[in-house]
Amino acid sequence: MLMVGPPGSGKSMLAQRLPSILPPLTPKELLEVSMIASVAGELAEGRLTDRRPFRAPHHSASMAALVGGGLRARPGEVSLAHHGVLFLDELPEFSPQTLDALRQPLETGECMIARANHRITYPARIQLVAAMNPCRCGMAGEPGYRCARGERCRSDYQARISGPLLDRIDLRVEVPAVSAGDLIRSERAEESAAVAARVARARAVQRERFEQNGAGAVACNAQCPAGLIETLAAPDAAGVALLRDASEKLGFSARAYHRVLKVARTLADLDGSDTVGRIHLAEAISYRMASERLAQAA
């Protein structure tokens, strides 16, 4: 997921709250996370927790720090976030080479570190959450603000993120500015416990569905193989027509097509729907459309 909005709009806060709505680690996941932390020397006093990892490296982090490396090929931040959340704030401020190194773990769920005398692979099945300002000055598109550099400020800044990396990001969300007045008169929002319960129900439905289809090793829709998701997320007639039109107009890659199906299947699960309808596909496509606009700038 990529959140785009001006400074102070709450992007970092939202990312930090994400682990609180995710289900706790299963015993198998806990063992994997603990083993990685032990190898990295970060298992303090042998303490274990079922809370999902949350890693937020600074944008000055090197490629080795992010994906792993060094003389003894230690795991990087991506592997330390295994089964959890990797949060990259100020995404365009990371070096382009470092960001592109994320392409393999996002696709395969593994980090392979190759050296002259050995090669090692660490697991890295993560939820990538990134945040960025719309432009370098941070306020492009905000009412009453005009950037001195104009549209070039936005396009140059967003072009620091490569198209292949954006193709691997399923959701792009615009986060509007929040004023003091919004906070003063804000209504009580849905509590994290209620959202977490809804997520837990959706995850349980997905696990049961995968077990029934002989894919018990798959934990959630994001991990579902392309061939299987075409069956499990087969849309109705109206959804097929919408998906066909969107694919032709936006030029979806095969990866984008399957990722739209996975997002739509997840939206249907959160709604408690057995079938993927047009409304679920429309929402999934809307997130991908925003990503396509960024890719064009890149």
Task: Look over the chain and give the mean of its residue pLDDT values, rounded to a whole number.
Answer: 87
Q: Residue range 200-223: average pLDDT?
A: 92
Average pLDDT over residues 231-243: 89
Question: What pLDDT is recorded for position 268?
Answer: 94
Domains annotated for the chain, with CATH where assigned, are 2-184 (3.40.50.300), 192-297 (no CATH)
Q: What is the pLDDT of residue 224?
A: 93
Q: How far is residue 171's CA from residue 173's CA, in Å, rounded to a whole number?
A: 6
Average pLDDT (187-200) is: 87
52: amino acid identity, one letter:
R
Q: How many CA atoms lie within 13 A of 78 on its CB side?
A: 31
Q: pTM of the full predicted structure?
A: 0.88
Asked if the model's pLDDT at residue 233 lies above 50, the reply is: yes
Closest CA to 99 of 57, 46, 150: 57
Q: Among 80, 72, 7, which residue's Cα sits nearest to residue 38?
A: 80
Q: What is the pLDDT of residue 144?
A: 66
Q: Is the pLDDT of residue 282 over 50?
A: yes
What average pLDDT does range 120-144 have in this prediction? 85
pLDDT, position 291? 47
pLDDT value for 46: 67
Q: Do strands 119-123 and 110-114 pair parallel, antiparallel, or not at all (unpaired)? A: antiparallel
